[in-house]
Amino acid sequence: MTLPGTDTQAPAVTDVVSAQRWATLLPYRERLVRLARRQGAGPEAEDVAHEALLRTVVQPGLDLDRAWSYLAKVAANLAADLHRRSAREQVLRAHAGLSPRPQPADESVEDLDLGRHAVRLVAGLEADLRDIVLLRRDGATWSQVGARVGQAPTTVEMRYRRAVAPLRRQLRPC
């Protein structure tokens, strides 16, 4: 039967072909699920099998005598895609875990207040101690600080620790 004004077959004929394909392919369903599990699809094995069936049933020019080999290849490719997608998601989750979380506004204000207080405390130190603290803050090693202020590295380190200890106690939250 053809549709009026066209040379194409009626949907009923297409439905018959589709029904024949489903009748041929559905018996492979359990076998596909087992294959997907062996391929590592785990809990998604059913989804992989169903997707393979859906993709195969609409494949134009499908040779029904070779349907299993085609289904198996589609399922294997879908399982591989699932692994790749899972690996990408794991990498993204890892990167998301490394990204800084937005800090609540009240914590930001507290940090700013604490920073201002620390600056005032360091500014109140004797000039030579203040220089040692600021050089260490900028990343200088003990040897570099010692050379800069004209003292031995061990002396500079001891003076730094003695100067910073009371500052830390004053900055420690209650």
Decide if pLDDT at 46 tops 80: yes
Please report, rounded to a whole number, the percentage of residues in the chain having pLDDT higher than 90.
44
Q: Per CATH, which fold does 105-171 belong to?
A: Arc Repressor Mutant, subunit A (1.10.10)
Q: What is the mean pLDDT of the chain?
A: 84
pLDDT band at residue 150 using 50, 70 and 90 as cut-offs: very high
Decide if pLDDT at 135 tops 60: yes
What does the block give as tokens for 81? Answer: 């895609």
Average pLDDT, integer, range 52-70: 91
**Model pTM?**
0.49
Contact 83, 36 (CB under 8 A): no
Contact 117, 171 (CB under 8 A): yes
Contacts of 51 (CB under 8 A, 6+ apart): 74, 78
